[in-house]
């Protein structure tokens, strides 16, 4: 049997076959979305199992840290909330012994660590930065959070909301970042602090956090509600 | 005994795995293009939306407030399981049953270049039931490429938990680049593979029904007409 010849023209059919696939895009059907959501929940479980409490995200030499970090939000930097330290109070809720709200001054007095780690966006870009702040674990212990609970949730001044699994919340590199590149976190990057989690995708790193709660019910997430995977570990 | 006909046989396991892989790969490519568009590696390469997988952008915006990237990622992270599983089974099966040894060997640069030149000159023959050197190289090549896709994909999905896997590809962005380039290789394979199948439809018949026979491999072109 032979190949090609003038029939080679028919190779054009293969292109047609590919476009057929796109033409019958099923993504918007409820049934398809349900199947995909099921896979996503399965992926949550796989990722939770893959997550190692002791494995650290790679750290980099400080010279590799970007000074002008990429701004990323669904609104422009001028629209970012500007919180006034005089009346800012971090609210606490859920399975926490001492729910007294915290001031910026009190938060910033916690023992701090620095990390030069890589921020990985779900879209694919990545950027190395230097963040400093208190380990979230230290804070959770100070406020008497029940660390046997399953989740920690966050609410933010810009309407954002996120939540993470407790093992990630207790991970040594999960910090309340007060500083970026040694500067107090500028307003557009989330003053007074952002939750910096180098073992999660960027969107699991909420900024301008105004409330923290501890719960057994999986917290919703802004982008998770828009179809992204909940665990989103890396 | 001499066969009066050339014959191509594909056992059921091979056919099922082939088609699961084929569908998974199409889903991976279509959704991967939509994901790529969200943050293109090369500014001058952006995939037209209609050819990507992830649903209608306006519907998705109304439904989720997201332009279908979430759907594309959901497709990608679903089909990765069906692809990885079927691929693993296919490769293990291929080695265990001797399919790879029987049908892909011997293979060498000499026979590949000879058959490649013949193919370019449109003189390469296709004999049912026996792969020519270019076919062998293409099938081994695409299996290696899918393996590379799974590895580089793992490095992109889990750069922390699989660290230092990404270093194999020159870091996280290196892994993205490898994932992209190898994708192009697989698309190229796909185009040629589908085109040649259309030229020799009996191969498609064999991959669907399990068996196809044609007149004994003799002169050029008699069976294509």
- Domains of chain A, residue spans: 1-50, 54-226
Give the side-chain half-sphere CA count within 13 A for A167.
14
Location of structure tokens 């990057």: A189
How large is the angle between the packed helices B12-38 and B172-199, nearest 10 degrees?
Answer: 130
Mutate to test the interface with A, among B35, B64, B160 (most CBs of A within 10 A): B160
Residues in chain A with CB shorter than 8 Å from the CB of B161 are 50-52, 55, 199, 233-234
CATH of domain A54-226: 3.90.420.10
Residue A6 has pLDDT above 80, yes or no: no
Asked if the Cβ–Cβ distance from A3 to B122 is below 8 Å, we say yes
Mean pLDDT of A146-160: 98
Asked if the Cβ–Cβ distance from A36 to B51 is below 8 Å, we say no
Residues in chain A with CB shorter than 8 Å from the CB of B55 are 25, 27-28
Q: What is the pLDDT of residue B2?
A: 57
Asked if the Cβ–Cβ distance from A120 to B172 is below 8 Å, we say yes
Task: Assign A12 a pLDDT band (cuts: 50, 70, 90).
Answer: very low
Domain B7-215, CATH class in plain words: mainly alpha
Location of structure tokens 């008497």: A144
ipTM over 0.90: no
Looking only at the bridges linking them, the beta strands covering B211-215 and B5-9 are antiparallel
Residue A153 has pLDDT above 60, yes or no: yes
Q: What is the pLDDT of residue B217?
A: 66
Closest approach of chain A CAs to the CA of B162, in angstroms?
9
Among A21, A36, A50, the residue with its CB nearest the CB of B78 is: A36
Residue A53 in contact with partner chain B when CB distance is under 8 A = no
Among A1, A58, A223, the residue with its CB nearest the CB of B223 is: A1
Q: Which residues contact B155 (CB under 8 A, 6 or more apart)?
A: B162, B165, B166, B168, B169, B172, B175
Per-residue pLDDT of chain B (225 residues; tens, 9 = 90+): 555 788 889 999 999 999 999 999 999 999 999 999 999 999 999 999 999 999 888 888 887 788 899 999 999 999 999 999 999 999 999 999 999 999 998 888 888 888 888 888 878 877 888 898 889 999 999 999 999 999 999 999 999 999 999 999 999 999 999 999 999 999 999 999 999 899 889 999 999 999 998 887 654 444 443
Kindly report the average pLDDT of chain A as a whole number: 91
Residue A8 in contact with partner chain B when CB distance is under 8 A = yes
Q: What is the pLDDT of residues B5-59, one digit of tens each?
A: 888 899 999 999 999 999 999 999 999 999 999 999 999 999 999 999 998 888 8
């Amino acid at each position: 049997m032979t190949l090609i010849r003038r029939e080679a023209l028919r190779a054009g059919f293969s292109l047609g076959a590919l476009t057929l696939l796109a033409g019958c895009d099923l993504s918007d059907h409820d049934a398809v979305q349900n199947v995909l959501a099921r896979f996503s929940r399965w992926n949550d479980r796989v990722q939770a199992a893959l997550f190692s409490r002791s494995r650290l995200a790679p750290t980099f030499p400080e010279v590799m840290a970007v000074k002008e970090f990429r701004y990323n939000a669904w609104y422009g930097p001028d629209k970012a909330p500007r919180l006034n330290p005089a009346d800012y109070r971090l609210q606490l809720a859920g399975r926490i012994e001492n729910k007294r709200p915290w001031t910026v001054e009190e938060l910033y007095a916690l023992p701090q660590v620095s990390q030069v780690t890589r921020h990985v966006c779900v879209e694919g870009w990545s950027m190395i930065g230097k963040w400093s702040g208190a380990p979230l674990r230290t804070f959770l212990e100070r406020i008497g959070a029940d660390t046997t609970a399953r989740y920690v949730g966050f609410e933010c001044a810009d309407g954002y909301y996120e939540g993470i699994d407790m093992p990630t919340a207790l991970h040594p590199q999960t910090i309340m970042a007060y500083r970026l590149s040694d500067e107090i976190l500028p307003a557009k990057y989330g003053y007074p602090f952002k939750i910096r989690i180098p073992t999660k995708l960027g969107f699991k790193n909420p900024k301008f956090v105004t409330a923290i709660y501890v719960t057994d019910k999986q917290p919703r997430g802004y982008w998770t509600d828009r179809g992204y995977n909940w665990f989103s570990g890396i | 005994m001499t066969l009066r006909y050339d014959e191509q046989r594909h056992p059921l396991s091979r056919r099922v795995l082939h088609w699961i892989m084929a569908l998974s790969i199409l889903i991976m490519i279509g959704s991967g293009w939509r994901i790529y568009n969200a943050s293109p590696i090369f500014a001058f390469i952006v995939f037209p939306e209609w050819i990507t997988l992830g649903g209608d952008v306006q519907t998705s915006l109304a439904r989720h407030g997201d332009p279908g990237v979430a759907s594309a990622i959901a497709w990608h992270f679903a089909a990765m399981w069906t692809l990885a599983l079927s691929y693993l089974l296919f490769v293990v099966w291929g080695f265990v049953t001797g399919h790879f040894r029987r049908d892909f060997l011997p293979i060498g640069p000499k026979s590949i270049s000879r058959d490649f030149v013949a193919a370019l000159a449109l003189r390469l023959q296709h004999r049912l039931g026996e792969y020519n050197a270019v076919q062998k190289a293409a099938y081994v090549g695409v299996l290696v490429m899918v393996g590379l896709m799974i590895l580089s994909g793992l490095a992109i999905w889990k750069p922390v938990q699989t660290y230092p896997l990404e270093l194999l590809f020159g870091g996280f962005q290196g892994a993205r680049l490898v994932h992209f380039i190898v994708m192009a290789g697989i698309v190229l394979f796909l185009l040629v593979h589908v085109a040649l199948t259309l030229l020799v439809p009996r191969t498609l018949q064999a991959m669907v029904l399990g068996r196809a026979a044609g007149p004994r491999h003799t002169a050029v072109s008699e069976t294509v007409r």
